[in-house]
Amino acid sequence: MAVSTVLFGLAAGSFGACAEELPSHVELATAADNVEFAVEAPSRDGYRLVGTVKGIAAANDLDTATEAARNDLRNKAAALGATLVTIDENVGEPMPLQNKTKVKLTGRAYKPVDSLPDTTGQDIEMPDAAPFAIPATDAAPDALTTRAREAPDAAMPAIPSAD
């Protein structure tokens, strides 16, 4: 009997440790005070995409969780220098064992074009080598490719007939 009580206690303790610790309140940072929400992506002439941001929170009621997730989203957008954010995904899901609702927002952060550095008319240095490996053209091709070039009919094995 004592062994089953210990095992049950260990299982319950490990299950509780797996639960997510999400904030129920997220304070809006001073820089995020200037981040506005938009229903649609802004004009390319006025804004540039600077990244994808995610805001997440959980609280006992949906409104509190949503407000905290929106603040988290705005804080992360402000950290990228954005002043505008769109919400592409808004997911609310219950957390039954904690009697909370988790809200996860995913959006795109935009920065005004006039706040980006001006690169027009400047010489941009190009690196001497590509940042990724390109196979050499004189590398040895595999045997099948070589046989296919030398004798196209011999490269493919004959398919036995059903007769």
User: b/e per residue, 90-126, with b = 16+ CB within 10 A?
Assistant: eeeeebeeeebbbbbbbbbbbbeeeeeeeeeeeeeee
Supply the pLDDT for residue 21: 86
Supply the pLDDT for residue 147: 46
Supply the pLDDT for residue 31: 94
Question: At 2, phi and psi to the nearest 5?
Answer: -65, -35
Answer for the pair 112, 138: CB distance below 8 angstroms, yes or no. Answer: no
Supply the pLDDT for residue 93: 96
Supply the pLDDT for residue 140: 46
Supply the pLDDT for residue 138: 46
3-class state of residue 52 by DSSP: strand
The residues of the chain scoring below 50 in pLDDT are 1, 3-18, 121, 123-127, 129-148, 155
Supply the pLDDT for residue 53: 97
- Specify burial of residue 152 (Cβ count, 10 A radius: 0-12, 13-18, 19+): exposed
User: And the tokens for 43?
Assistant: 């004009």
| Separation between Cα atoms, residue 73 and residue 107, nearest integer Å | 8
pTM: 0.60
Supply the pLDDT for residue 116: 60
Sheet holding 84-95, edge to edge: 36-38, 84-95, 100-112, 47-59
